[in-house]
Amino acid sequence: LEETKRCYHNEVKMVERLKLEKEDMNAEWTKRLEAETDACTQLAEEIADLSKQLDDENLATVKISELHASLEAQVTVLTGALEEAKIVNEHESQNVAKLTQEIQDVRKELSREKEKNAL
């Protein structure tokens, strides 16, 4: 029974640690996504400024094309980061679900042992 209790407490601690790690990962990905979003916003502002400043249509077209390509690259990075975050979150959710099930199983076993001991 003591071993089962110890296992149960270890599982609870592990679930809590995994939840904290998941929160930390989410915070890290959020910071990364915010930084990438800020970079995209800055690039969009540069495009607007260049459009106002450039008189030469060909030069404007070249600069806008370069900035557009840069924005597309940033969107690709953001999309990749978001997809990776989704995969990590799904994996962590599966781990938490598995550990939650294990804890429930340990609780059931504890209940059975308590009933046996009561008899």
Does the predicted TM-score (pTM) go above 0.75?
no
Residues of the chain above pLDDT 90, percent = 47
Q: Label residues 81-102 b or e (16+ Cβ within 10 Å = b).
A: eeeebeeeeeebeebeeebeee
The rounded distance, in Å, linking the Cα atoms of 109 and 103 is 10
Nearest C-alpha neighbor of 67 from the set 46, 49, 51, 52: 46
Report pLDDT digits (tens) over 71-101: 999 989 989 988 998 998 899 999 889 999 9
Cα 87 to its chain centre, rounded Å, is 8
Identify the weakest region by mean pLDDT among 24-33, 62-71, 100-109: 62-71
Name the token pair of 20: 């904290």
